[in-house]
Structure 1
Amino acid sequence: MTEKQIEQLLKDYHWMINSVKIMREGLNDVGGNFTAQYGLEAAMPKAAGGHSDPIYQEFLRREKRWKKISDYEQKIKMVQDKIHLITVDREIEVLHWLLEGKSLLWIGMHMGFSDRHIGRIKDTVIRKMSHMSDTSKK
């Protein structure tokens, strides 16, 4: 992965975690089991006509949401698989707060550093995480 891709994953991590949690709850809370009618029975012959069945349309909408959840989970796992590479205390702290969705300014105020200094630490974290990707390809 490139440094830009890793930086974007770090920026998106917090909201993706929250979205996965909320989407899972929402999709699990709503009643109805669509797999019986649309799982095995989806392969059965059907009468001619379009997909005007609103329940079927809801099934398709939910299926897309589950795929989106899976996509977010893969991205979250990519970040989590690289966290162990960060071993310096300041870098660990900055990474933690980035993953919590905090701004560089907030982290700087929390740690007593300027946001520019926090930005340099963040860049080091990203560089270390991207080198793991480079070395794993060799």
Structure 2
Amino acid sequence: MNKWQLEDLLKDYHWKLHSVKIMRESMNEINMSMTAQYGLQAAMPKAQGDPSDPILKEVERRDKRWKKIHTYERDIQFIQARLVFVTDERETEVLHWLLEGKSMRWIGLHMGLSDKHIGRIKERIVAQMSHKSQTSEKCIC
């Protein structure tokens, strides 16, 4: 993973985490509210793979949603696995606020630093996290 991809993951971390929580809750509510068909509807044979079958379309839609949830979870876990590589106190504070979805300007005001300085700190964080991910990917071979 290159530095730009890692920066995007840091930037998207907060909303992806929030989205996973909401999507899981909604998918579980949908699963709980599904009712079985009764009477003639239940006894009628269903065509396999019929593109007009609303149940098949709903299953496919939900499957895509679960795949999206798993993609977001993989991105979140990628970042979480690299949090230990950031050990400097100032960098840890900046990283915390980035993961909370705060802007560099907000972080700069909060910490009494310029947003450009926060940008340089973020670059160091990304460099540490991407360097560690590159070395760990080489070891997996």
* TM-score for both structures, normalised by structure 2: 0.84
1:133 Cα deviation from its structure 2 partner: 1.5
Partner of 2:26: 26
Q: Check conservation: 2:49, 2:56, Cα contact below 8 A.
A: no
**Aligned counterparts of 2:58 and 2:24: Cα–Cα separation in 1:** 16
Secondary structure at the aligned position of 2:106 is classed as: helix
RMSD over aligned CA atoms reads: 1.9
Task: Report the AA paired with residue 107 of structure 2.
Answer: I
The residue that corresponds to 1:94 in the other structure is 94
Query: Which runs of no fewer than 5 residues in structure 1 stay unpaired?
Result: 35-44
Q: Percent identity at matched positions?
A: 58
CA deviation after TM superposition for structure 1 residue 57, in Å: 1.2
Equivalent residue for 1:113?
113
Change (3 A) 1:52 1:78: same
Instruction: Give the superposition deviation at 1:135.
Output: 1.4
Tell me, which stretches of 5 or more residues in structure 2 are unaligned? Answer: 37-44
Tell me by how many angstroms 1:53 deviates. 2.1
Q: Which residue of 1 aligns with 2:40?
A: none
Task: Describe the SS at the equivalent of 1:50.
Answer: coil
Q: Does 1:75 align with 2:75?
A: yes
Instruction: Give the Cα separation in 2 of the matches to 1:49 and 1:3.
Output: 43
- Consecutive aligned runs of 4 or more in structure 1 exceeding 3 Å deviation: 45-49
